[in-house]
A = this chain, B = another copy of it.
Amino acid sequence: MVKKLSEKIIQTGAPIVVGLDPMMKYIPEHIQKAAFAEHGETLKGAAEAIWQFNKEIVDHVYDLIPAVKPQIAMYEQFGVEGLIAYQKTVDYCQEKGLVVIGDIKRGDIGSTSEAYAIGHLGKVQVGSKKLEAFHEDIVTVNPYLGSDGVDPFVKVCKEENKGIFILVKTSNPSSGEFQDRLIDGKPLYEWVGEKVNEWGSDCMDGEYSNVGAVVGATYPEMGKVLRKLMSKAYILVPGYGAQGGKGKDLVHFFNEDGLGAIVNSSRGIIAAYAQEQYAKFGAEHFGEASRQAVLDMKEDIGSALQNR
């Protein structure tokens, strides 16, 4: 799967993933009104608003980007109805040829991680049949439980040619509370990074491994160290834009081949219409504002990489 991702990055010239994190406050009023008129102010109404919002954004950006990253929490908060919208979003993006990275951050003891792995990346046995459930292409995984919590995901990656990104150093302000603590002189995130290499060593797909890592754009110096440490891992880089990361902070997340990283932006793209810079498009044309924001992000990262 990472080979497909990498090829799509080369083809689009955009190491960019659009985070489909449709918080209600980002969804223009006309979309909300139409959904509530049909379904009332219900969980189903909210799910319909999310879905219509996502669809219009995807229709405006799918030809520019290799991948999307729906954040499942933003759907799960609306219960089962929200997860139906998540599923529709995954299906629709795959129909459009996009690699779908489910930002699910799951991770549990072995037998439980296995259930997550088959439910999101593999096939679940039902009687005599093997069926797909959420079927994202790649998911994010939390490493706190250690190898036996990660191994079932790696197994499914091998069997089904899917991918995972392990949380190594997250983009949030307090990520350092545990992740930065020194163990035998090295921060925990480096120990996790070494495990990413180990988990991914038997899982190569072209030049890179199907086991990648999450490292926040907000910590560029640590990104530089982790880039070298995990040379065969694709790095998913959240925290660009709204969380504070900028193109020039990102160059060290990439390998010399200009590959090996994909930068996420969520509200910077999907709520672009609400920013001064893109206000001219108006809320009615939020999809066009998102398209322009993707083009600008591509330019920002592209020029930073050229001037590295």
Contacts and interface: CB of A to CB of B under 8 A. Distances in A.
Interface of A: 21, 23-24, 32, 36, 41-43, 45-46, 71, 73-74, 76-80, 82-84, 87, 105-113, 115-116, 118-120, 124-129, 131, 133-134, 142-149, 167, 170-179, 181-184, 188, 191-192, 195, 238
Nearest to A242: B111
A288 to B, nearest CB: 25
A240 to B, nearest CB: 13
Given A21-B112, A41-B128, 7 more contacts: A43-B124, A76-B119, A77-B119, A83-B83, A105-B107, A144-B170, A183-B183
B84 A146 contact: no
Enumerate the 3 nearest inter-chain pairs by beta-carbon distance, A residue then B residue, closest first: A79-B133, A77-B119, A146-B177
Q: How many copies does the complex hold?
A: 2
Among A79, A80, A126, A188, chain B packs the most CB atoms within 10 A around the CB of A126
13 contacts: A24-B125, A45-B126, A73-B115, A76-B116, A76-B119, A77-B118, A109-B170, A145-B167, A145-B172, A146-B174, A146-B177, A177-B195, A178-B188
Contacts of A167: 144-145
Contacts of A87: 79-80
Contact of A79 (B106, B108, B134): B134
A133 B174 contact: no
Contact of A73 (B43, B106, B145): B106
A208 to B, nearest CB: 24
Given A116-B76, A144-B167, A149 B133 contact: no
B144 A74 contact: no
A32 B174 contact: no
A85 to B, nearest CB: 10
Contacts of A177: 146-147, 195
A181 B183 contact: yes
A8 B79 CA distance: 28
Given A42-B126, A174-B147, A142 B77 contact: no
A172 B149 contact: yes
Contact of A74 (B80, B115, B146, B171): B115
A131 B43 contact: yes
A142 B181 contact: no
Contacts of A80: 80, 83-84, 87, 133
B183 A43 contact: no
A125 B41 CA distance: 9
